[in-house]
A and B are shown apart, each in its own frame.
Chain A
Amino acid sequence: MLRYIATKLGLLIPTFFGVTLLTFSMVRLIPGDPVELMAGERGIAPERHAQLLAELGLDKPLLLQYFYYIVDVLTGDLGKSFVTKKPILVEFFTLFPATIELSICAILFALILGVPAGIIAAVRRGRVVDYTVMGVSLTGYSMPIFWWGLLLIILFSVNLGWTPVSGRISLIYFFEPVTGFMLIDTLLSGQEGAFRSALHHLVLPTVVLGTIPLAVIARMTRSAMLEVLSEDYIRTARAKGLRPWRVVAVHALRNAMIPVITVIGLQIGVLLAGAILTETIFSWPGVGKWLIESVRRRDYAALQGGILLIATFIILVNLIVDLLYALFNPRIRHARH
């Protein structure tokens, strides 16, 4: 297992440096240099321009610049936003819990509905239920989620008035954030109704963000389940006279979940991309909305830092998924010995 972890970590380092290379070159590929971008449309005097270039280290050779960039990144200095002048690391981690909270809720939503739907479809293969589940999930998979969000707002917020249109919590509640997770903070604050309000604000964004993972998980569970159900040990279990639900829920499900766990890991990237759209629609104060605003404000420092952090996060999550996968499935971790 240790050797497996070491191999995985070894593969991770070049990928991380590759991502830093990507974010490093990104800002340099934009027409004009960062100083001109910071100055904006007002322009800047040539002497001041040269002075700022020197201050930022941009007058040095590219290779040296990249070296300094790596040193900065590794010491946790991602620079300051062109617009707010705040450190990017601080901005990012103030907003990140909102995105994480939304993503966790979305993946739970997808799992709670998707796994049972996939199981039922597999068990009733070729029946109406199967076709319905697969039809609905293909529709979900094809869904432009930004539109889906707007539709849900029209139906549930505008026409029925069940849920709020935007934000994380009603403005009447105020308290200092402790964890950054609204559901936990509202409980800690002890204010009456605050938790309910936070929950209400979460419902629609969760459904919107969870739709595509839900479709993927349902399809994946079904196909994994079908494969497992045709194995000999399942026939043995049935022949032993076990109840049909026990064979499905205990014997088959445990093995069928292995590919599903991998797929959930792969969905993290999809989730974060979806978060950009979902947060934009629901004015959810997370990193997705922040990134889009950075693009609009031409705040390339924020964009550069944000992308590096998100990519690093995804690399780490994938690593954890790989390790969990090996933990659940001994065949993987012994494969290379």
Chain B
Amino acid sequence: MTDIATEPEIHNADVPGAEIPGADRPVRRPVHPAIEVWHHFRKNWGAVGGLVIIVLVIFVAIFADVVAPHSPIEQFRDAFLTPPVWAEGGTSKFLLGTDDVGRDMLSRLIYGARFSLFIGLLVVVLSLGGGIVLGLTAGFFPGIIGDLILRLMDIMLAVPSLLLAIVIVAILGPSLTNAVMAVAIVYLPHFTRVCRAAVITELTKEYVTASRVAGARLMRLMFKTVLPNCMAPLIVLATLNVSSAILDAAALGFLGLGAQPPTPEWGSMLADAQEFVKRAWWVVTFPGLAVLITVLAFNLAGDGLRDALDPRLKQ
């Protein structure tokens, strides 16, 4: 899917000031890593397409008040289950039709983008933060503490993610915030393990020893010296996990354990729509399509980012 030609020689040649043998120029400054990543990233059509969709969804989510034609919870009593505009009986007032209590589908989907993005990003920020702290600790203290952390993560991995999330929601009670917490906890082991693996590799390098010899304290060593060099795999994991987080939170919403009605969250919209499978296909089709497109966009962009950050991983 994500095949991009990564040939550093050619790539360096388009950068202004590239070294030309015998040229009477100063040696070029190294390209900023972010720019280099972007150079790789933009060659991948799928990834760029994913990024465009993500930007679009973010835009729609931020400006939902302006973009949405109606309020997401306003009920039009004269328009229950109106089909989309192109179907028979549809009106241009409700472009994607209305649901069983006369709410505009399009507006609900637009507001729903807020929830899905919020969920995806918050989950990843929480589990990334937690994973970094646990991973650094496990990496720096490989004895009992490290083993304990790793064992705990193994146990969490033994329970299927959705099931663990369901258990956590069952303990905390069903709500959007608790669903976010649950999914964030479930993703913790992945971040912890990736972070620890990276930390262990970095700890054997000389710059860490140098820093230690120079008298750097533990906190400085952990967060300023080692952590920045462990970020690449964590960033990739984070991007790819945004999509899983959106999916899992939608699944919880669908099972009635996430966002509660009348919140226009895509998963819980689908839960409400289930009984109209036979009568109103649009109520079922659009929320799921929104989830699919958003998740696909994050996966495409995540794959592209992975290849751009580490061409060796490219398969």
Contacts and interface: CB of A to CB of B under 8 A. Distances in A.
A249 interface: no
Centre residue among A18, A150, A153 by max chain B CB count within 10 A: A150
Given A18-B151, A126-B3, A154-B281, A147 B160 contact: no
A314 B243 contact: no
A146 B270 contact: yes
Nearest to A310: B163
Contacts of B46: 135
Interface stretch (A92-100, A289-297, A325-333): A289-297
A83 to B, nearest CB: 14
A12 to B, nearest CB: 10
Contact of A315 (B158, B270, B299): B158
Contacts, number: 135
Contact of B270 (A138, A141, A150, A226): A150
Interface residues of B, number: 47
Given A18-B151, A150-B270, A154-B284, A291 B163 contact: yes
Contacts of A141: 299
Interface in A273-321: 273-274, 276-277, 280-281, 291-292, 295-296, 300, 303, 307, 310-311, 314-315, 318
Interface string B135-167: 000000000000000011011011111110011
A52 interface: no
Interface stretch (B7-15, B22-30, B117-125, B290-298): B290-298
Interface string B286-307: 0111011001100110010000
Interface in B238-294: 243, 247, 250-251, 254-257, 267, 270, 273-274, 277-278, 281, 284-285, 287-289, 291-292
A222 B2 CA distance: 13
B31 interface: no
Interface in B168-212: 169-171
A311 B167 contact: no
A26 B171 contact: yes
A273 B244 CA distance: 13
A20 to B, nearest CB: 10
A131 interface: yes
B315 interface: yes
Contacts of B66: none
Nearest to B281: A154
A187 to B, nearest CB: 31
B152 A18 contact: yes
A89 to B, nearest CB: 18
Interface in A211-266: 219, 222-223, 226-227
B299 A19 contact: no
A147 B162 contact: no
A124 to B, nearest CB: 13
Contacts of A222: 315
A153 B275 CA distance: 12
B20 interface: no
B214 interface: no
Given A26-B167, A142-B296, A19 B159 contact: yes
Contacts of A154: 277, 281, 284-285
Contacts of B213: none
A310 B160 contact: yes
A14 interface: yes
B34 interface: no
B29 to A, nearest CB: 35
A311 B251 contact: no
A122 B289 CA distance: 29
A131 B3 CA distance: 9
A147 B292 contact: yes
A298 B161 CA distance: 20
A192 to B, nearest CB: 30
Interface string A124-162: 001000010011011101111011101101100010000
B288 A144 contact: yes
A74 interface: no
Contacts of A280: 255
11 contacts: A26-B167, A30-B171, A131-B1, A138-B1, A143-B292, A144-B295, A219-B1, A273-B162, A307-B163, A310-B160, A315-B158
Interface of A: 14-15, 18-19, 21-22, 26, 29-30, 126, 131, 134-135, 137-139, 141-144, 146-148, 150-151, 153-154, 158, 219, 222-223, 226-227, 269-270, 272-274, 276-277, 280-281, 291-292, 295-296, 300, 303, 307, 310-311, 314-315, 318
In order of increasing CB-CB distance, the 3 nearest A-B pairs are A147-B288, A18-B155, A223-B315
